[in-house]
Structure 1
């Protein structure tokens, strides 16, 4: 009977573990998406304000002239790294002094087409970051791209803390469920054991032996 009990408990726990793991993955991904969406929303509001201000009041001058004369307009609404990029992908200005280079990321390409773009990846080789790009326009014609970049380091730390709470809660659920599974398996195994013992005694000639009925089921 012990092998049956082990299999029953094992099957119960296996189903519970799979269910908890799937639920944990769903919860953690939902939390990650929630945090990332909040970061994107904040950056989008900031970059739209700066781009709309440029499009409305500064678009009569060239992009290069505005970088020289009105550079504060581009980053006064945000603490993120700010880049101004021409349509060829050349970085004309970077707020933190990163050596000027070219950009061909998906968010830039989308903004160059007149739409908002978003990119999530690694900068400096290892640090997770999010970039939001938005078109700079003159007379309804896209003349450049404004790009905000922010580190996701602190956001990922917050996600990790919440995830650990979920993981510990999941382990607790598995532990409690394991104990409940042992109890449930006993409700099946004990009647089987009693029936088996009664059958063995009857086989030995003790026909007066009876198995006490406890549950109105198959056993």
Structure 2
């Protein structure tokens, strides 16, 4: 009974599920969520430092402005306190009521009991309001500062400066200003910094994804080609798109495919040759065996047996040569010289 022998690869490649482009184990994913995360963190730290510095700059500038202004005014009033030709209380009242920046800054005169008695707006504040800046100014004898919220929950900055101790009616001048305009400027700068960071990240993201893609695409082509090689298809070739290390790798794999294709052709030719060589003695053995089985001639039988033995020895020699060839291919052939 004739049997057809088919030659199949010893190792059948297992089919693996297709991976998505941005799978968690992909190069693009690792770059985006590792390197880009570090970049975003660095930009976030830099942006935070810049915003903090801008905020401090504007708050300090506002405080210095108020401090210089209130110190100038208290200096003028302190000179009036030693001038007997001037009414100190009237000068204080006149300065507060004619204050030119009353639309932006609230100027207050505080008596010796710590109560606000004059304001540039004409409205007396609630006695329960916090005046930590005034307490600091009286305790230290110099300018006091306070930053917080008013009774209307508005962010304000207050600066107090003590008047001359010679005056018994007024103890300090206090300036209060809303910092909403300052916060608006800080917010504008914050938005500009955030926009700058985003505009800085986008080109890096696009260039990085393009660069990683230029690596991933050849690797994917190499992976597809090697899978076909594993299935015995050595006609596939990888296009050479670059002259870098990946390009050299593609050239090496293509050279390997050429060698494998040549080896495959030689193997097929060898199998064909061996099949032909084996068929001749097998045909002779089969023919003489049928002749012996059909006839009764003793001479013919002896001749047939001699042919069968001879062809069997020939087959044994061929099998031995095939085994030697297999050992040479596997690197297990040992040459002994006597």
Q: Which residue is 2:245 aligned to?
A: 215
Q: Which residue is 2:38 aligned to?
A: 15
Asked if the contact 1:116–1:132 (Cα under 8 Å) also holds between the matched residues in 2, the reply is yes
2:205 is the alignment partner of 1:178: yes
After superposition, the Cα gap between the structure-2 partners of 1:23 and 1:41, relative to the gap in structure 1 and judged at 3 Å, is same
Asked if the contact 2:80–2:88 (Cα under 8 Å) also holds between the matched residues in 1, the reply is no
Q: Which residue is 1:117 aligned to?
A: 144
2:177 is the alignment partner of 1:150: yes
> What's the C-alpha RMSD, in Å, of the aligned pairs?
3.2
Q: Which residue is 2:331 aligned to?
A: none
2:161 is the alignment partner of 1:134: yes
After superposition, what is the alpha-carbon deviation per residue over 1:102-127, rounded to whole angstroms, capped at 9, x for unaligned? 35432112111112111122224232
Asked if the contact 1:87–1:112 (Cα under 8 Å) also holds between the matched residues in 2, the reply is no
TM-score if structure 2 supplies the norm length?
A: 0.54
After superposition, what is the alpha-carbon deviation per residue over 1:21-79, rounded to whole angstroms, capped at 9, x for unaligned? 22222222222222222211111111111111222321578xxx734454223564754
Q: Which residue is 2:94 aligned to?
A: 72
Question: How far apart, in 1, do the equivalents of 2:114 and 2:92 lie?
Answer: 21
**Secondary structure at the residue paired with 2:76?**
helix
**Secondary structure at the residue paired with 1:89?**
coil
Cα displacement (A) at 1:184: 2.8
**Secondary structure at the residue paired with 2:164?**
strand
2:108 is the alignment partner of 1:108: no
Deviation larger for 97-106 or 126-135: 97-106
Q: Which residue is 1:34 aligned to?
A: 57
Asked if the contact 1:60–1:138 (Cα under 8 Å) also holds between the matched residues in 2, the reply is no
**Structure 1, unaligned runs of 5 or more:** none
| Structure with larger Rg | 2
After superposition, the Cα gap between the structure-2 partners of 1:214 and 1:70, relative to the gap in structure 1 and judged at 3 Å, is closer
**Secondary structure at the residue paired with 2:72?**
helix
Which structure is higher in helix share?
2
Asked if the contact 1:16–1:177 (Cα under 8 Å) also holds between the matched residues in 2, the reply is no
After superposition, the Cα gap between the structure-2 partners of 1:89 and 1:104, relative to the gap in structure 1 and judged at 3 Å, is farther
Deviation larger for 68-77 or 164-173: 68-77
Which residue among 71, 82, 96 is the counterpart of 2:121? 96
Cα displacement (A) at 1:146: 1.3
Q: Higher RCO, 1 or 2 (CA under 8 Å, sep at least 6)? A: 1
Cα displacement (A) at 1:149: 0.7
2:73 is the alignment partner of 1:50: yes
